[in-house]
Amino acid sequence: MTVSIAFTASPPLLGTGSESASSSALPNGSPQHVGVEIVNLRALNVDACVAKYTAAHRKQVGEEALIRADQIEEWATWCRQGKQPS
């Protein structure tokens, strides 16, 4: 699965909301890359969740079952929504 990150005008991840993309540090003194690390952590969590869906699917239909890219994307969407395989 490919995860792309785009930096656009969006609410900041941390702080009081007065941060801007052009500042070198957040008001609390943290460098800007903290947001990137949070995004990377979220991507890792989604990847781990998708791996759980994959394992559950293969357990149900067989280890050699092919998994389509659109199925992986659907699972990733579910993971971002907080859903977990049962």
For residue 10, being part of any structural domain is answered with: no
The DSSP line for the chain is: --------S---SSSSS---TT-SB-TTS-BTHHHHHHHHHHHHHHHHHHHHHHHHHHHHH-TT----HHHHHHHHHHHHTT----
Q: For residue 21, is pLDDT > 80?
A: no
Per-residue model confidence as pLDDT tens digits over 36-70: 666 666 777 999 999 999 999 999 999 999 999 99
In a domain, 65, yes or no: yes
Question: Is 44 part of any domain?
Answer: yes
- How many folded domains does the chain comprise? 1
In a domain, 7, yes or no: no
- The domain of 43 spans 39-80
Q: Is residue 72 situated within a structural domain? A: yes
Average pLDDT over residues 3-15: 44
Indicate if the alpha-carbon torsion angle 37, 39, 45, 47 is positive or negative: negative
Residue 10 pLDDT more than 60? Answer: no
In a domain, 47, yes or no: yes
Phi, psi of 7 (to 5 degrees): -95, 115
